[in-house]
């Protein structure tokens, strides 16, 4: 018992001294993408809050798996964290990974969340979700939607719509949100499902027709756009694209708790909230237990969906 008490006291003392050098966020996607943008919004405020510089290291590749593995293998000393997005729980089910996202990482906090947006070419006949469902039922497998790629949240959102609405939309995967958005605006594909930052500007400019968002609540960035759940009376339809921080397993709990507290404070700073809102995102700052529950729930939810929809990466 004496040894255990000494260990606990040592952990607390270490956490009180933390951080005494720069802290690294590994972003497992290239610079300029949505995850990188959200990370950089909170980078400076967190640096001020912690009294040490927050460094962002972009390690893209394999749908986020390369950077995530680097974070998993990092020393659990509180100086390396993973800053990732909700593909985190999808990748576990689609890729052959060398790590387990539920066992090898510790949840810290969700920084922000944002919906996928369902939009249509302005010349298409689709103005509401009911229009899409009606046409999709009349022409199974004929009405196409573009996504940011196979296995992305936008793809998952389309497959979940197929299952919940009893339709069969044809999935057209692109290599990123930009090309998908361009082709839908050009009329090559009638419907787009994409993260809201990639298309909100185009819908506000009248270049795309916004139809619905995939979260349970309307987004503060565009409160006039209905949710799929309310538009189709499907109460359990939800695809939330969240951005969150994780720590390597065995990182001292006191350090995890300190960073969680600072994230919760930072996302409530008015200027940070505004910058997130400009990206179509809503600041969250939830507890580690709440983020951990989200991960566990989504692993089960997406496993079921992937099996039912027969999703496989080529």
CB 195 within 8 A of CB 153: yes
Q: Report the pLDDT value the prediction gives residue 9, as an integer from 0 to 100.
A: 47
Q: Report the pLDDT value the prediction gives residue 15, as an integer from 0 to 100.
A: 65
CB 102 within 8 A of CB 297: no
Q: What is the mean pLDDT of residues 67-77?
A: 97
45/15: higher pLDDT: 45
- Residue 253: which of 107, 110, 111 has the closest Cα? 107
Lowest mean pLDDT: which of 118-122, 176-180, 291-295? 176-180
What is the spatial distance between Cα 11 and Cα 68, in angstroms, rounded to a whole number? 25
Q: Report the pLDDT value the prediction gives residue 12, as an integer from 0 to 100.
A: 52
Q: Report the pLDDT value the prediction gives residue 311, as an integer from 0 to 100.
A: 84
Q: What is the mean pLDDT of residues 126-131?
A: 97
Q: Report the pLDDT value the prediction gives residue 47, as an integer from 0 to 100.
A: 97
In b/e form, how buried is each residue of 205-214, taking b as 16+ CB within 10 angstroms? eeebbbbbbb
Q: Report the pLDDT value the prediction gives residue 34, as an integer from 0 to 100.
A: 81
Write out pLDDT tens, residues 213-241.
999 999 988 999 999 999 999 998 999 89
The pLDDT of residue 171 is above 70: yes
Q: List helix spans (H) across the chain.
A: 2-17, 34-50, 65-73, 87-94, 129-138, 153-165, 177-185, 196-204, 228-232, 253-266, 270-278, 288-309
pTM, rounded to two decimals: 0.84
The pLDDT of residue 261 is above 60: yes
Q: What is the mean pLDDT of residues 237-251?
A: 95
């Amino acid at each position: 018992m004496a040894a255990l008490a000494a260990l606990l006291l040592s952990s607390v003392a270490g956490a009180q001294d933390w951080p005494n050098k720069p802290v690294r966020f590994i972003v497992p996607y290239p610079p300029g993408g949505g995850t990188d943008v959200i990370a950089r919004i909170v980078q400076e405020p967190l640096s001020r809050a912690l009294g040490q510089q927050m460094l962002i290291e972009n390690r893209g590749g394999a749908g986020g798996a390369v950077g995530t593995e680097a974070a998993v293998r990092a020393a659990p000393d509180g100086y390396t964290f993973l800053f990732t997005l909700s593909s985190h729980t999808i990748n576990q089910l689609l890729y052959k990974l060398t790590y387990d996202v539920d066992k090898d990482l510790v949840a810290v906090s969700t920084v922000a969340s944002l919906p996928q947006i369902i939009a249509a070419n302005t010349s298409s006949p689709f103005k509401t979700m009911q229009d899409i469902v009606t046409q999709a039922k009349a022409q199974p497998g004929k009405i196409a939607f573009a996504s940011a790629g196979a296995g992305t949240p936008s793809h998952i959102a389309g497959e979940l719509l197929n299952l919940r609405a009893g339709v069969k939309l044809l999935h057209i995967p692109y290599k990123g949100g930009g090309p998908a958005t361009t082709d839908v605006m050009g009329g090559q594909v009638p419907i787009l499902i994409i993260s809201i930052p990639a298309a909100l500007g185009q819908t506000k400019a009248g270049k795309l027709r916004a139809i619905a968002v995939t979260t349970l609540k309307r987004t503060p960035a565009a409160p006039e756009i209905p949710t799929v759940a309310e538009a189709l009376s499907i109460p359990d339809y939800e695809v939330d694209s969240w951005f969150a921080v994780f720590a390597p397993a065995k990182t001292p709990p006191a350090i995890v708790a300190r960073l969680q507290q600072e994230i919760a404070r930072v996302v409530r700073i008015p200027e940070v909230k505004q910058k997130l809102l400009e990206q179509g995102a809503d600041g969250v700052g939830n507890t580690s237990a709440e983020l951990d529950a989200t991960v566990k729930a989504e692993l089960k939810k997406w496993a079921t969906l992937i099996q039912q929809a027969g999703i496989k990466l080529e």
